[in-house]
Structure 1
Amino acid sequence: MPIDGKLRIAAVGDLHCRLGKHGNYRRLVDAVNEQGCDALLLCGDLTDHGHVDEAKLLAEALSGVRAKKIGVLGNHDFEAGKSDEICAVLAEGGIHILDGDHYELKGHMVGFAGAKGFGGGFDRATLQGFGEEGIKGFVHEAVQEALKLETALLRVDAPIKIAITHYSPVRDTVIGENPEIFPFLGSSRLSEPIDHHRPTMCFHGHAHYGTMEGRTLGGVPVYNVALPLLRRDHPDRRFFMVDIPLPEGFHAPPSERPGAVVTPADLHAEHESG
């Protein structure tokens, strides 16, 4: 449960679990527990090639995490056509995978809305659904993923609302990658429901060589927590961690709570890395 009126969130993406890597996650598990985190967010590409055995290994490796584990799948998790089986295996291991739905911690202090997302590019360079059927299909997938995120955010009824995706909703956090592949790293279509519903913050992965922090046009903080990026400057880093203040009076009985929500404007620059 939150300590000193704050909610502590750990987040990481792109673990790319493959057979033989079981011991690699012990430091992650120990650090999340030592920091007293309330939730561990997993931002896609949980497996390396989308094999069910990889998901089983990851679920076992993270079984010692005491915090709630919530995440989304990434493109690698679809590679072998076993995404449904992967979700089932992870669920058995206590990892809640979101795909257009949400999860709220006990007491409804925080709700997590998640969708994988998709590519398509950013801002004025966003791909439009015109021309060949292949282009239209690509754009349709991007639109559907944005609608999933919209639905999930709409259903969260908690003072702290957090969005989780694999693909980036903003250009800011993919800068550092080759510009030629920006359209395959995310889409501004994901930022539209984020700015409409104003979650406290958003986490994503996917862009291994991107930038850690950015913002939507509406000012919502966006964090790229791809593990290769987190470890680029700090090789021992295992996750990104942020403390979020609880609304004043939240610990009062539900009938006496002020009904306040935590918006991006309430945050302080007090995040740190594990």
Structure 2
Amino acid sequence: MTPSTDKRLRVAAIGDLHVQESRTDSYKELFQEIASVADVLVLCGDLTNYGKTSEIELLADDLAGIQIPIVAVLGNHDHECGQPEVIKSYLSDAGVRVLDNGESFEIEGVGFAGCMGAMGGFGRGMLSSFGEKAVKAFVHECLEETMKLETSLRMLRTERAVAVLHYSPVADTLEGEPLEIFPFLGNSRLAHTVDQFDNVRAVVHGHAHRGVHKGKTPKGTPVYNCAQMVALAATGRPYALIEV
């Protein structure tokens, strides 16, 4: 592993910006505030509302000039127009390090790994690859996302790491959401993958707008729901600020 340092890294994580082309506000001032209190900005997906080029152009403009490293994953809304590669391209051009296909990044001795993740449910209620062809295909896609996360984490050699997702790996951070939609908000396979790695110090995700801010994996790794609405209700600011 990469030798650790004594310095604690301040990570600001926010999800579910849902930038719209018709918006009248901007995230530029918020990002500047974050840059003044954090060492790294993490974007936990649903950065745009429909995955439109016009929306990601606005977000890229807001991110311009931010003087701290930025790491991101995409969310389901960023896929809506069927052009996630365009979204990723704009983010990359803005200096954002996008996690999607097993990539990982090291920033000041802390590793960042992740992917969008997937829905599918939790515990004994998790959907399995059984029955109709469509169900098997869906579960296969969910497993592909889990493999992306595992590959990304295996790439790291740091003693400290942060796992970045859009979908939740645990049901803990979904409390407050209707029980009927829990299977669409995350997947426990993601938590099982995280728990294979002793260097993961925190997991951040978004997606669950009415969930709670903090939970943990079965082995006790802290999980933070960083959807901006949830973070605001829990901390008084629309982002989580975590020391790693």
Normalising to structure 2: TM-score of the pair? 0.93
Q: For residue 233 of structure 1, report the CA deviation from its aligned partner.
A: 5.4
Task: Please give the alpha-carbon distance, in whole angstroms, between the structure 1 residues aligned to 2:119 and 2:21.
Answer: 28
CA offsets 1:209-246 (integer angstroms, 9 cap, x no match):
01110000011110000012123356x623110122xx
Partner residue of 1:9?
Answer: 11
Q: Tell me which stretches of 4 or more aligned residues in structure 1 moved more than 3 Å.
A: 20-23
Report the AA paired with residue 7 of structure 2.
G
Count the aligned residue pairs: 238
Report the AA paired with residue 34 of structure 1.
S
Report the AA paired with residue 212 of structure 2.
T
Task: Please give the alpha-carbon distance, in whole angstroms, between the structure 1 residues aligned to 2:73 and 2:18.
Answer: 13
Partner residue of 1:38?
Answer: 39
Contact 2:216 2:222 (C-alpha < 8 Å) held by counterparts: yes
Structure 1 stretches lacking a partner, 5+ long = 245-274
RMSD: 1.6
Partner residue of 1:102?
Answer: 104
Task: Please give the alpha-carbon distance, in whole angstroms, between the structure 2 residues aligned to 1:30 and 1:115.
Answer: 25
Q: Which has the higher contact order (CA 8 A, sep 6+)?
A: 2
The 3-state SS of whatever aligns with 1:197 is: coil
Q: For residue 22 of structure 1, report the CA deviation from its aligned partner.
A: 6.6
- Whether 1:238 and 2:238 are equivalent positions in the alignment is yes
Task: Please give the alpha-carbon distance, in whole angstroms, between the structure 2 residues aligned to 1:164 and 1:120.
Answer: 18
Contact 1:59 1:95 (C-alpha < 8 Å) held by counterparts: no
CA offsets 1:134-181 (integer angstroms, 9 cap, x no match):
111111111111111000000011121110000000010111100000
Task: Please give the alpha-carbon distance, in whole angstroms, between the structure 2 residues aligned to 1:233 and 1:223.
Answer: 11
CA offsets 1:84-124 (integer angstroms, 9 cap, x no match):
0110011001111101211112x5x0110011001110011
The 3-state SS of whatever aligns with 2:26 is: helix
- Whether 1:18 and 2:20 are equivalent positions in the alignment is yes
Q: For residue 5 of structure 1, report the CA deviation from its aligned partner.
A: 2.6
The 3-state SS of whatever aligns with 1:130 is: coil
Q: Are the structure 2 counterparts of residues 39 and 53 from structure 1 closer, same or farther at C-alpha, using a change threshold of 3 Å?
A: same
Task: Please give the alpha-carbon distance, in whole angstroms, between the structure 2 residues aligned to 1:27 and 1:176.
Answer: 30
Percent identity between the aligned chains? 43
Contact 1:45 1:77 (C-alpha < 8 Å) held by counterparts: yes
Contact 2:230 2:238 (C-alpha < 8 Å) held by counterparts: no
The 3-state SS of whatever aligns with 1:143 is: helix
Counterparts of 1:33-72 in structure 2, within 5 Å, are 33-35=35-37, 37-72=38-73
Report the AA paired with residue 29 of structure 2.
R
- Whether 1:179 and 2:182 are equivalent positions in the alignment is no
CA offsets 1:59-87 (integer angstroms, 9 cap, x no match):
11011321100010000000000100110
Contact 2:213 2:234 (C-alpha < 8 Å) held by counterparts: no
Partner residue of 1:122?
Answer: 122
Larger Rg, first or second structure (1 or 2): 1
Partner residue of 2:3?
Answer: none
Report the AA paired with residue 5 of structure 1.
K
Partner residue of 1:158?
Answer: 158
Task: Please give the alpha-carbon distance, in whole angstroms, between the structure 1 residues aligned to 2:80 and 2:31.
Answer: 26
Counterparts of 1:213-224 in structure 2, within 5 Å, are 213-224=214-225
State which drifts further: 57-66 or 42-51.
Answer: 57-66
Report the AA paired with residue 203 of structure 2.
C
Contact 1:103 1:112 (C-alpha < 8 Å) held by counterparts: yes
Normalising to structure 1: TM-score of the pair? 0.83
The 3-state SS of whatever aligns with 1:28 is: helix
Task: Please give the alpha-carbon distance, in whole angstroms, between the structure 1 residues aligned to 2:187 and 2:24.
Answer: 33
